[in-house]
Amino acid sequence: MGCRPADLPRLATIASRLARSLVPGDLVLLEGPLGAGKTAFVRLVAEALGVSHGVRSPSFTIANIYQGRVTVNHLDLYRLDGEEDEDVFALEEYLTPDAITLVEWPERALHRLIAPEWIVRMDHDTPDTRLVAIEGRDAVVAARWDAAE
Ligand SMILES: Nc1ncnc2c1ncn2[C@@H]1O[C@H](COP(=O)(O)OP(=O)(O)O)[C@@H](O)[C@H]1O
Ligand SMILES: [Mg+2]
- The candidate with the shortest Cα–Cα distance to 38, out of 25, 26, 54, 56, is 56
* pLDDT at residue 57, as a whole number: 77
CA distance linking residue 70 with residue 46, whole number of Å: 9
- Fold category of 4-78+92-137 in CATH: Rossmann fold (3.40.50)
Give yes or no for residue 32 CB within 6 A of ligand 1: yes
Per-residue pLDDT of the chain (149 residues; tens, 9 = 90+): 999 999 999 999 999 999 999 999 999 999 999 999 999 999 999 999 999 988 887 666 688 999 999 999 999 988 876 655 555 567 778 889 999 999 999 888 766 677 899 999 999 999 999 999 999 999 999 999 999 98
Model-level pTM greater than 0.85? Answer: yes
Q: Which amino acid is at 89?
A: F
Residue ranges per structural domain of the chain: 4-78+92-137
How distant, in Å, are the alpha carbons of 22, 49, 100, 141 from that of 146? 12, 18, 19, 9
32: number of CA atoms within 13 Å, CB side? 22
Alpha-helix residue ranges (DSSP H) falling in 22-93: 38-48
CA distance linking residue 77 with residue 148, whole number of Å: 29
Residue nearest to atom 5 of ligand 1 (CA): 37
Give yes or no for residue 49 CB within 6 A of ligand 1: no
Give yes or no for residue 40 CB within 6 A of ligand 1: yes
Give yes or no for residue 43 CB within 6 A of ligand 1: no
Residues with CB in 5 Å of ion ligand 2: 38-39, 57, 104
